[in-house]
Amino acid sequence: MDTWRLLPFGVYSAAWNMAVDEAVLQTCIAEKAPNTLRLYRWSPSAVSIGRNEKLDDRVYLQRVRQLEVDIVRRCSGGGTVYHDYEGEITYSIAAKASDLGREGDAVSVYCKIYDAIADALRLLGVSADFNNGDAKCCPNLTVGGKKISGSSQALSRGYVLQHGTLLREVNLEKMFQLLKVKDLSCKEAVEVGREKITSITGELGHKVSFDTVYNALKQGFKAILKIQLQEATLTSFEEELANRLYREKYSTREWTYSSGKSL
């Protein structure tokens, strides 16, 4: 049974979260770290946008500033996501792609990771299903046709970074004050969201603590990936790289406001 590294669960800024995710991926590619699982939250709440997205098309920038929400561009693809401080746990996996799915088949990687998240939800009392997605949406996890977990990927030299959301709660009113939906007003987007998005709290009818969700995710990943998890911190190499990426990339206006850049 393989042993993966588990990084400490914590709450961090948007730019630091993305800097660490990329630093871990680059360290795995350099074979200076094992396959790694990271679980974290966002403070303050944040909007993240896909690597190739045009910011003005996806986000109400004035409202982001008014509501004091962070904004960051990911190194991965996919759409624009609102990360609520109270509502979400984010997972991040940096690993050799062949350890998760068939070589060159991104969907098989999504399937394996979503199987693990679905198993975590099962432990919490929620039954979820894999959704293949389409040309506009990455694969995701749904409950009764409503999305509860979405993800995006970055692939490089045989390694994958997949990071994504698991909704503990969802604040649709705040989400759609920040995210633009083509041809819909904020109020209309909220109504559509109620038909398409759900959460653990929404399904169970009561709140579940972050620690409970965190522990369920650990168990789900261990069971489905057939791995052991060994708790460890970032290496000094990763710390240095993450700090540089934070300073020179993820906290800069140039990176955030310019689309179409590579790793």
Look-up: residue for tokens 């500033």? 65
- Give the pLDDT confidence score for residue 132 in this predicted structure: 77
74-128 pLDDT, tens digit each: 999 999 999 999 999 999 999 999 999 877 788 899 999 999 999 999 999 999 9
pLDDT at residue 58 in the model: 94
What lies within 8 Å, CB to CB, of 208 at 6+ separation is: 124, 168, 200, 201
By CB atoms closer than 10 A (0-12, 13-18, 19+), residue 130 is middle
Q: So which residues are the catalytic ones?
A: 138
Across 172-193, average pLDDT: 96
pLDDT per residue as tens digits for the range 126-162: 999 988 766 567 788 999 999 999 999 999 999 999 9
* Alpha-carbon distance values, 224 to 107, 157, 255 (Å): 16, 25, 36
Q: Please tell me the predicted confidence (pLDDT) of residue 258.
A: 82
